[in-house]
Amino acid sequence: MQRLVCKRLGLGILRLSDQPGGSLQYCANVLRPAALFASKVPEQPTWVPIDHDRVPIDHDSLPEVPEIDLALVEQLERISLVEFNNEAGLRRLREAVKFANQMHVVDTEGVEPMDSVLEDRECYLRSDEVTDGNCVEDVMSNASKVEEQYFVAPPGNIPMKKRDKEHLSGILNTPTDGDKAS
């Protein structure tokens, strides 16, 4: 019977009577929900995202979430050359790591890592010939400091100054913190 009713889609008409100014007559055809038709779309959600706050997950089945201490913070800042602004930044990293740790519910035994979706194709390799050049001015046009045809950088190989981590002390659970607290 529903087949007859819905011979063609787009029968449903939605009127928005409360348009601004009342002058806009907005009508749209919508795909009509045919609730009685044996749909292939599942009635209920088939899975629930792991949410540490709401859904208890069996943490014992997962490897422990790595601790993030002062030494690690300093290491990450050194290699990233960006700083954790504040405690919120550090908390974000902890959340990101905790989220990533969920991967360990998946059994990947014997599965090769996948670098590229083109792995089974031969990608184009051009012949080793110079095809462009004479563009020094173009290449350097966006640099703030240049000297002749060189980019200018400050002296290298000078270790970064040790940054004060006072702003992270509330969240970093380190001996230093403990000392301060006592």
Partner 1 sequence: MKSLTVKKALKLLRSRQISPTDLVHMCCERMKETNSLNYMIHEIPSDILSHQAKISEQSYLQGRPKALDGIPIAFKDNFCMKDTPTTCGSRMLLNYKPPYSATMVEKVARAGGIIVGKTNMDEFAMGSGSLDSWFGPVANPWNLVARPGREAEQASGWVIAGGSSGGSAAAVAAGASLAAFGSDTGGSTRNPASYCGLVGVKATYGLLSRHGLVPLVNSMDVPGIVTLTVEDAAILLDTVAGHDARDSTSVCETYAPFEMDRALDLSRVHIGIPREFHTSGLSAEVRDLWSATADALDRAGAKVSQVSLPHVQHCLVCYHVLCCCEVASNFSRYTGIEFGLRRGSEESTEELYAETRHHGFNDVVRGRILAGNFFLLRKNFDRFFLKAQRIRRLIGEDFRSIFSAGVHFLLTPTTLTEAPTFAWFSQKDNRTRCAEQDIFTTAANLAGVPAVSVPLGVSRRGLPLSLQVMGPHFSDARLLSLAHWLEQQAAFQHLDLSSTNNFSHAHLDSQDIDTC
Among residues 149, 161, 166, 182, which is the contact residue for partner 1, using CB under 8 A? Answer: 161
Of 26 and 179, CB closest to partner 1: 26
- Rounded to whole angstroms, the Cα distance separating 124 from 174 reads 52
Q: Are 94 and 76 in contact (CB under 8 A)?
A: no
CB of 181 to partner 1, least distance (A): 26
Closest of 63, 64, 82, 60 to residue 73, by C-alpha: 82
Which residue lies nearer to partner 1 by CB, 148 or 179? 148
Strand partners, 151: 146
C-alpha 176/C-alpha 172 separation (Å) is 9
Among 1, 22, 24, 164, binds partner 1 (CB under 8 A): 24
Segment 49 to 88, residues that bind partner 1, using CB under 8 A: 49, 63, 66, 68, 72, 75-77, 79-85, 88
* Rounded CA separation 95/182 (Å): 28
Neighbouring C-beta atoms of residue 25, cutoff 10 Å? 9
**Site for partner 1, residues 82 to 141, rule: CB under 8 A:** 82-85, 88-89, 92-93, 95-97, 99-100, 102-106, 108, 111-118, 121-126, 135, 138-141
Query: Per the structure block, which two tokens stand in for 76?
Result: 């990450």
CB of 116 to partner 1, least distance (A): 6
42 binds partner 1 (CB under 8 A): yes
